[in-house]
Amino acid sequence: MGCREVHAATVLAFLSGTASVAGLLAAVLLPNWRQMRLCTFNRNERNLTVFTGLWIKCARFDGSRDCVSYDPQWYRAVDQLDLRVLQFALPLSMATAAAALLLCLVGMCHTAFVSTAPNVKLARCLVNSAGCHLVAGLLFLLACAICLTPSVWVIFYNSYLNRKYEPIFSFDISVFIAIASAGGLFFTSVLLFLWYCACKSLPSPFWHPLYSHPPSMHSYTPQPYSARSRLSTMEIDMPMVTHTS
């Protein structure tokens, strides 16, 4: 494994994280988190389906794509607890994953363009590429947990609404997109962790999150000079003359 070069695992992790963030963005914007189907027994009227999203609500007749009733201010008056939690959880998960993507990109650029250790004076203040990937993996895992928990809760809360009122509620495609995006974030974090664990056996400091001892730093302790070493060269080479009586 070419750990000291940009590796396929880190590139695949970056692409997977980007696709997961794009999926989260689609799930946030689509008005397809919950459907409420209203059926009528009047032959002169058509059944109505209400599509509920995080920010808008749309009502459509069967066989029509146009909204009969469109509420763009729905985000202010959300009366369903799971959707209200998702309004805060999904943007937070997207922000966390975006920060992880930025760190992953910084780590790859550091690997590609910086082959030597930094200045000795700045070594203890800098993070190497392995540290960037390690922190990015932790952030991807956190983003996965923030996204997955409320998205799965929608399924159980939908069953609660059907028991409390009538069996007219069903979860829509945005739930599956959010759960799949959370799975992509988890896969991305696993890739980064596997890459780090496979490369951490290399000599330090390249695979420590922080530069502890750069290669240019060597522990050298000068030995104390002896009394004879302080003599000049002439004194050392000059023979000792003694006088005898």
**Measuring CA to CA, how many Å separate 166 from each of 36, 122, 125, 151?**
10, 65, 60, 22
- Report pLDDT digits (tens) over 183-205: 999 999 999 998 888 877 766 55
Amino acid 139: pLDDT:
95
Q: Would you list the domain boundaries of the chain?
A: 6-32+77-112+123-197
Residue-level pLDDT at 118: 55
Element of type H or E holding 36: strand 34-38
Can you give the pLDDT at residue 236?
45
What class does CATH assign to 6-32+77-112+123-197? mainly alpha
Residue range 117-124: average pLDDT?
53
Taking Cα atoms as reference points, which of 82, 83, 92, 87 lies closest to residue 146? 92
Residue 175 to residue 172: CA distance in whole angstroms: 6
Q: What is the pLDDT of residues 15-35, one digit of tens each?
A: 999 999 999 999 999 888 888
167-177 pLDDT, tens per residue?
A: 778 888 999 99
Flag whether pLDDT at 157 surpasses 50: yes
pLDDT band for 228, please (50, 70, 90 cuts): very low
- Residue 219 pLDDT: 41
Residues 170-202 as b or e (16 or more Cβ within 10 Å = b): ebbebbebbbbbbbbbbbbbebbbebbeebeee
For the stretch 41-52, pLDDT in tens is 666 667 778 888
Total-model pTM: 0.74
Burial of 67 (0-12, 13-18, 19+ CB in 10 A): middle
Residue corresponding to tokens 């069996």: 167
State yes or no: pLDDT of 245 exceeds 50: no
Interval 213-226: pLDDT, tens: 544 544 444 445 45
Identify the burial level of 220 via C-beta atoms within 10 angstroms of its C-beta, where 0-12 means exposed, 13-18 middle and 19 or more buried: exposed
* pLDDT surpassing 80 at residue 88: yes
Q: Is 38 helix (H, G, I), strand (E, B) or coil?
A: strand
Rounded to an integer, the average pLDDT of 228-233 is 49
Any idea which of 76-85, 97-106, 114-123, 198-207 has the lowest mean pLDDT? 114-123
Q: For 85-103, what is the mean pLDDT?
A: 93
User: What's the whole-number average pLDDT of the chain?
Assistant: 77
For the CA atoms of the chain, what is the radius of gyration?
32
pLDDT of residue 7: 75
